[in-house]
Every structure is written in structure tokens, then in C-alpha cells.
Amino acid sequence: VVRAEMFGQLTGGLEAAWTKLKGEEVLTKENIVEPMRDIRRALLEADVSLPVVRRFVQAVSDQAVGVGLIRGVKPDQQLVKIVHDELVKLMGGEVSELVFSKSAPTVILLAGLQGVGKTTVCAKLANYLKKQGKSCMLIAGDVYRPAAIDQLVILGEQVGVPVYTAGTEVKPSEIAKQGLEEAKKKKMDVVIMDTAGRLQIDKGMMDELKEVKKVLNPTEVLLVVDAMTGQEAAALVTTFNVEIGITGAILTKLDGDSRGGAALSVKEVSGKPIKLVGRGERMEDLEPFYPDRMAGRILGMGDVLSFVEKAQEVMRQEDAEELQKKIMSAKFDFNDFLKQTRAVARMGSMTRVIGMIPGMGKVTPAQVREAEKNLKLMESMIEAMTPEEREKPELLAESPQRRKRIAQDSGKTEQQVSQLVAQLFQMRVRMKNLMGIMEGGSIPTLSN
Ligand code: GDP
């Protein structure tokens, strides 16, 4: 089975909008008409409900026209940013954390239609909480499908979490009561109850859930919904919230969702946040729902946030700011060059992450390995420079004698030294261009 790339279709649809702005100088009322139509179409095709699409498009248009020109930022980039921020807002802004009760155990009640991945989520969630050091117990409450109870027991064993079962003859609310007592006796931190899933919403299901909820008095009541069902998922969250009162949703099968309608609509339609998402069949495939990262993915701009977090482990913030200042004032010198090259070399472990960033997509794992290899070579030459030469690479561009001395002192060829000097100037220009601060720039020809 070929899985659809997450949000692939939506990403492609939105791309049309940016393309139309290529070559424009500013965003105007006129030139955003076409891109806005593309955005509208992309969202509708993503299965976002019409009222939500209308509000979204309006909000983006208002901002796009009112926005001032930012130096170095092109109109299409500016629109991407506005759409990004609106997407984040649409999905609820901040990550919505699970709530834990002050007195143990925290009770989490899971509900959902059949086949959405509810049983799997029970075990995934237990696994997730266990990794945070919390002891968990599962309660098997799907009494209509004996296979569901067996499945939960097997998954529980797999993740190493006890499962409370009472067969299929006992009422779910009674199972809930017994299970909760057991969890208290065992001093569990969290207890998660699985409930029966039906093919569609019916009164029996709702009544049963209400009863179970009354017995458990849960901290979290989470509805598990299938991302592939698009805006239907958002409607379900609304219905369950009205009927039994829920605290949030868990969106499963995001790995197979190329459209994104559910992820985009749930919060806006139901008022309830998506707290967690399932992105695969393995027990590890459950994670918090980060609206900002999700927006980044939808726009096809990679998971920039997690890149930044990881990059910060490599290069401290002040270094980065310092570097930026130097690049802007064209003072990027050999000291920075060394720092930068060392940082890139250390990024070896993050080649996977680098690939996620647009523009950085050009930095291939092979290039990072190359940087690691070159580092030693460069270090020896840079170490042979005087402090003055390191700070003023122009000195080296102008003087073949200096380059010759460095070659001799570091045991490298003059050609290698010249290459290094040329590389520094190329880097200055490239970085400036990358940042969109200056067009062009010049690379000096080394004098002989
Ligand atoms: P339930 O009827 O709601 O309890 O659903 P199950 O937990 O039995 O899951 C139904 C099917 O969906 C199973 O084959 C699961 O492996 C699969 N599934 C559950 N969550 C995910 C997910 O996040 N991604 C993918 N690709 N499959 C999932």
C-alpha cells in the first residue's frame, strides 16, 4: 500500500498561490485576488468546512493588504508567513497539554466510533505516559466485541502495562467502577478506559458513555477520530462534546491523510482542541499536537521549529546572533568561518533534520560529511594565520606572500590556501544572498 504523504495534497494546492506572486514587488488588493482563490480552493479540497474556509480567507486577505513591506522579504514569502500564522491560530495556537489530576489516579476516558484506532490509542497513550515515568493501567470496556478485549490485553502486554478486564457480561459502568478501585489499590498514576465503539452514533452509546463518565469522574474525556474522515471528524467532536462533554480529541491516521481537513477544522468547529495525534501503527506513533509545527508541515516548509531547537543544541543563541550581525556588516571573518564550519560538522547527527528545511534542502548529508572532512584541513590553515589576518581576510586576498607563509606553516599547498580564502568570500556573498539582504556582492580576485 502506498501511503499518502501527510498533507501532500494541501501543500501542493497552496503552492499555486505563492507561485502567482513571483516577481511582484508588494502585496496589493489586486495581486492577491488570484492567490486567495488558490488558497480557498486548496482548503475546500482539503475538506475544511466552508464557513471555516471563508473566515480563514478573510483573515488572511485583511492582513495581506494591510501589511507593510519588510526589507528583504518577498511578497510571496510574506503571504506564506501570514497563512502560516493564521493556520496556527486556526488549529488552536498553543499545544494543548494533557491535564493530570492532583490526586492520583488521573482518569482518562476514551471514546470513538469503531475502527478509528481507539484500542490502539489506549495502548499508545499508556506507552507514551509510561515513558514520562507515570504508572498506567488500562480498563477494557468494549464489551460488545470480545476481540477488542483480547486486543487490548495483547497490546497492554506489548507495552508492559496492566489491563483490567471483567469479560463481556458486566456493564461498562460496573467495569469502570471495579477498574478504578483496582487502580487506586495499585496506586496507579493514570488509568485509561477503553469504551465500546459503534459504527455510528446512537443513543445507546451516548447513554452508556454518560454512565461511565459519571462513575469515573475523569480528568480527560478524549474522543478518538480518524483524520481520513476530514470535516466529518470535526462534526463528530462537536456532537460528542454536546452530548457527553469532552475535553479534547485524539486524531489518528494522520500518516495517511493527504488532505488535512480534520486537523484544520476540529478546534474551529467544535471549540475543543486536538491534544494528541497518531501517525502510524507502531506503539511509538503518538505525539502531542503542535499547531505551529503542523502549519509548517502543511506549507511544505519542513519542521522548522524542531530544526531550530536542534540547531540550538549545536550553536548557542548568542553565536548565531553575533554571526548574523557580522554577515550583515560584511565582517564575517576566519574566526567565524571556523566556528561555522565546526558547527556544520557537528551537525552530522542532524542531517536528517536539515533535509526538512526548504533552501537548506540543498545541504545534503554528503556535504555535511565533506564539511567534517574539510574541517581538519581548514583548521590547520586558519591556525597558521595571525589574529589580524583572521579578522581581515582582505589581507590574504591582497598578499600572495602571506598565503605562501601560511601554506608553509600549515604544511599545505598555496593553492589550498587560496581556495580557502576564496571560499570565505564566496560564503560572505552566499550568506548575504540567502538572507535576502543584498543583491549580488563581489568576490575579489586574488592578486598574484
Ligand atoms: P478501534 O476499532 O477504534 O479500536 O480501532 P483499532 O485500534 O483496532 O485500529 C483499527 C486499525 O487502524 C488497526 O489496523 C490499527 O493498526 C490502525 N491504526 C490505528 N491508529 C493508526 C494510525 O495512527 N496510523 C495508521 N496508519 N493506522 C492506525
pLDDT of residue 385: 94
Q: Does the Cβ of 253 fall within 6 Å of ligand 1? A: yes
Q: Does the Cβ of 284 fall within 6 Å of ligand 1? A: no
CA gap 80, 17 in Å, rounded:
9
Please state whether 380 falls in left (phi above 0), alpha (psi between -120 and 50) or beta.
alpha
How many angstroms does the Cα of residue 48 sit away from the middle of ligand 1?
23
141-171 per-position pLDDT tens digit: 998 888 899 999 999 999 999 999 998 889 9
C-alpha 252, offset from chain centre? 16
How many angstroms does the Cα of residue 431 sit away from the middle of ligand 1?
46
Residue recorded with cell 560584511? 330
Smallest CA-to-CA distance from 176 within 123, 213, 207, 124 is with 213
Residue whose CA is at the smallest distance from ligand 1 atom 17? 117
Q: Does the Cβ of 195 fall within 6 Å of ligand 1? A: no
How many angstroms does the Cα of residue 121 sit away from the middle of ligand 1?
8
- ipTM for this model: 0.97
Give residue 321's pLDDT band: very low, low, confident or very high (50, 70, 90).
low
CA gap 148, 440 in Å, rounded:
64
Residue whose CA is at the smallest distance from ligand 1 atom 12? 117
Write the single-letter amino acid at 377.
L
Residue whose CA is at the smallest distance from ligand 1 atom 27? 281
How many angstroms does the Cα of residue 306 sit away from the middle of ligand 1?
27
Q: Does the Cβ of 255 fall within 6 Å of ligand 1? A: yes
pLDDT of residue 75: 79
**163-164 and 286-288: which strand pairing?**
unpaired
254 close to 265: Cβ distance less than 8 angstroms: no
pLDDT of residue 18: 86
Q: What percent of the chain has pLDDT over 70?
A: 79
Element (H, E) at 249: strand 248-252
User: Which set of grid coordinates corresponds to residue 167?
Assistant: 469479560
How many angstroms does the Cα of residue 117 sit away from the middle of ligand 1?
3
pLDDT of residue 356: 42
Q: Does the Cβ of 124 fall within 6 Å of ligand 1? A: no
Q: Does the Cβ of 252 fall within 6 Å of ligand 1? A: yes
pLDDT of residue 358: 41
Ligand 1 pocket mutation, candidates 2, 193, 281, criterion most atoms within 8 A of CB: 281
Residues near 211 by beta carbon (within 8 Å), at least 6 away in sequence: 172, 173
Per-residue DSSP letter, 182 = H
Over residues 64-69, the mean pLDDT reads 70
Q: Does the Cβ of 287 fall within 6 Å of ligand 1? A: no
198-230 per-position pLDDT tens digit: 877 888 889 999 999 999 999 999 999 999 999
pLDDT of residue 282: 92
Q: Does the Cβ of 351 fall within 6 Å of ligand 1? A: no
Helix axes 261-270, 75-90, angle to 10 degrees: 60
pLDDT of residue 156: 97
Over residues 291-316, the mean pLDDT reads 59
Give residue 345's pLDDT band: very low, low, confident or very high (50, 70, 90).
low
What superfamily does domain 8-90 belong to in CATH?
SRP54, nucleotide-binding domain (1.20.120.140)
Give residue 299's pLDDT band: very low, low, confident or very high (50, 70, 90).
confident
Residue whose CA is at the smallest distance from ligand 1 atom 5? 117
pLDDT of residue 326: 64
What superfamily does domain 312-434 belong to in CATH?
Signal recognition particle, SRP54 subunit, M-domain (1.10.260.30)
Q: Does the Cβ of 281 fall within 6 Å of ligand 1? A: yes
**274-278 and 286-288: which strand pairing?**
antiparallel
Q: Does the Cβ of 278 fall within 6 Å of ligand 1? A: yes
Residue whose CA is at the smallest distance from ligand 1 atom 9? 117
CA gap 90, 70 in Å, rounded:
24
Residues near 262 by beta carbon (within 8 Å), at least 6 away in sequence: 47, 225, 226, 227, 228, 229, 230, 231, 232, 233, 234, 251
Q: Does the Cβ of 198 fall within 6 Å of ligand 1? A: no
Burial class (CB in 10 A: 0-12, 13-18, 19+), 446: middle
Q: Does the Cβ of 348 fall within 6 Å of ligand 1? A: no
Which whole-number Å values give the CA distances from 269 to 142, 158, 265, 440, in the listed order?
28, 36, 6, 48
For the chain, the helix, strand and coil percentages under 3-state DSSP, each to the nearest 5: 60, 10, 35
List residues bridging with 139 in a β-sheet: 164, 193
Give residue 354's pLDDT band: very low, low, confident or very high (50, 70, 90).
very low
13-22, 97-106, 150-159, 228-237: which range is least confident on average?
13-22
Q: Does the Cβ of 120 fall within 6 Å of ligand 1? A: yes
Give residue 426's pLDDT band: very low, low, confident or very high (50, 70, 90).
confident
Residue 221, φ and ψ in degrees, nearest 5: -120, 110
- Whether the predicted pLDDT of 363 surpasses 70: no
Give residue 438's pLDDT band: very low, low, confident or very high (50, 70, 90).
very low
What superfamily does domain 106-304 belong to in CATH?
P-loop containing nucleotide triphosphate hydrolases (3.40.50.300)
Which whole-number Å values give the CA distances from 196 to 1, 179, 366, in the listed order?
29, 16, 51
**Domain segments of the chain as ranges:** 8-90, 106-304, 312-434
Task: Give the side-chain half-sphere CA count within 13 A for 420.
Answer: 34
Task: Give the end-to-end CA distance of the chain in Å, rounded to a whole number.
Answer: 62
User: Which set of grid coordinates corresponds to residue 326?
Assistant: 557580522
35-48 per-position pLDDT tens digit: 999 999 999 999 99
pLDDT of residue 19: 87
Give residue 315's pLDDT band: very low, low, confident or very high (50, 70, 90).
very low
How many angstroms does the Cα of residue 276 sit away from the middle of ligand 1?
14
List residues bridging with 137 in a β-sheet: 191
Of ligand 1's atoms, which has the minimum distance to the CA of residue 115? 2
- Whether the predicted pLDDT of 417 surpasses 90: yes
Mean pLDDT, the chain, whole residue set: 83
pLDDT of residue 347: 55
Over residues 179-192, the mean pLDDT reads 97
266-279 per-position pLDDT tens digit: 999 999 999 999 99
What's the chain's length in residues? 448
User: Which set of grid coordinates corresponds to residue 130?
Assistant: 509510561
Of ligand 1's atoms, which has the minimum distance to the CA of residue 114? 2
328: number of Cβ within 10 Å: 14
Over residues 307-332, the mean pLDDT reads 55
- Whether the predicted pLDDT of 50 surpasses 80: yes
